Amino acid sequence: MLAEASWNWFIAQALACVVAYLLGRAVTSTSRSLQEIALLATVVALVGLALRGRVMEALVAVIPLDVLVYVEGTLIVPPFMFLAGILSAPKPGRSFEEGEGARLQLHTGKLGPMLATLGMVYLVVSGAWMVMPRVPASQIANVTMGAGFSQQSRDDTCVAAALATALRAPGIDLHVTEAEMADLADVRVGQGSTMVRALKAAELRLAGGDIEPRLYNYSAHEVVQMATASRPVLVTIRSGVSRTHMVAVLGMSRGKVLIANPWRTQRSSSVAGSGLERMSLEHFSKSYVGSAIVFIDRASR
């Protein structure tokens, strides 16, 4: 059912991009002042959405989570297509006579379609997860490491494993598996899951209980202060140039950040076979992406 819904969302967003592009072209036939206002508003929207990782807390508060899970990575594309439409159409009141003005207009006319193509490519790349199959439960081993942490079974199930580790912590104490959380977090083959889908999964699993998950744009220092072994904090850290990896932060000990890392091949700074990794605060601060899921008592908001 979720897979069918994601296909519908992908198609709807593709259609929205086409409509946004056509509306952008239509704006150019209106007054010049309206064009300028539309152009400025679009640029402001694009800048805001480009920085969405830093304001994810606000997006979660404004956009229903059932919607945000499908548009978090592609929300920027419709306004981008609108801008491309504005730059694609000839401007009213301009002639095509030879001269600097004509050359500028022709140059702008070429830029619009190029931007539109770039926007659609971005939509396909960022929205690819919506058309990919879900990770089969038969391919998830549900392995528990020495310290009781969940070990990810595949390269694309770190979110599910980190969720299982956090929800099994003593302060939450749910009996969950990597396979169950992969299903709730809508983990897709080769694409994995995201912070927003992890939040949705945690909400579903904790529904009706005394604890709820909340997403905040905490600093690295705030994450470490909030995290405990009893109630870990889920974060994503950079893994390579463009990839991110979800881990559970357990706090700090002897000047090192304690992390339950679900990755199967542990680094030299980890306790062999346990999944527990120690990282310097400086390294953690540089790797930390900027959003965190914390688990709080439902009454305290």
**Of 71, 99, 131, the domain-final residue:** 131
* Residue 161 sits in the same domain as residue 277: yes
At 138-166, the pLDDT tens digits run: 999 988 887 789 999 999 999 999 999 99
Confidence of residue 32 (pLDDT cuts 50, 70, 90): low
Show which of 92, 113, 131 is a domain's final residue.
131
Domain that holds residue 149: 137-297
105 and 74 inside one domain: yes
| Whether residue 301 has pLDDT greater than 60 | no
Residue with more model confidence, 16 or 33:
16
Residues 26, 57 within the same domain:
yes
Percent of the chain with pLDDT over 70: 79
State the CATH number of the domain containing residue 221: 3.90.70.10
Whether residues 161 and 286 share a domain: the answer is: yes
Residue (of 245, 269, 272, 239) closest to 256 by Cα position: 269
Number of domains into which the chain is organized: 2
Answer with the one of 61, 96, 131 that is the final residue of a domain: 131
Co-location of 101 and 225 in the same domain: no
275 shares a domain with 149: yes
Can you give the pLDDT at residue 245?
Answer: 94
Mean pLDDT of all residues in 14-24: 94
Task: Write down the pLDDT at residue 36.
Answer: 67
Q: What is the pLDDT of residue 197?
A: 97
* pTM score: 0.84
Span 167-221, pLDDT tens digits: 999 999 999 999 999 999 999 999 999 999 999 999 999 999 999 999 999 999 9
| The pLDDT of residue 73 | 87
Same domain membership, residue 150 and residue 124: no
Confidence check: pLDDT of 72 > 60: yes
pLDDT band at 271 (very low <50, low <70, confident <90, very high): very low
- Asked if 170 and 288 sit in the same domain, the reply is yes
Q: Regarding predicted confidence, which is higher, 97 or 240?
A: 240
Residue-level pLDDT at 96? 44
> What's the mean per-residue pLDDT of the chain?
84
Q: pLDDT > 90: what percent of the chain?
A: 59
203 and 100 within one domain: no
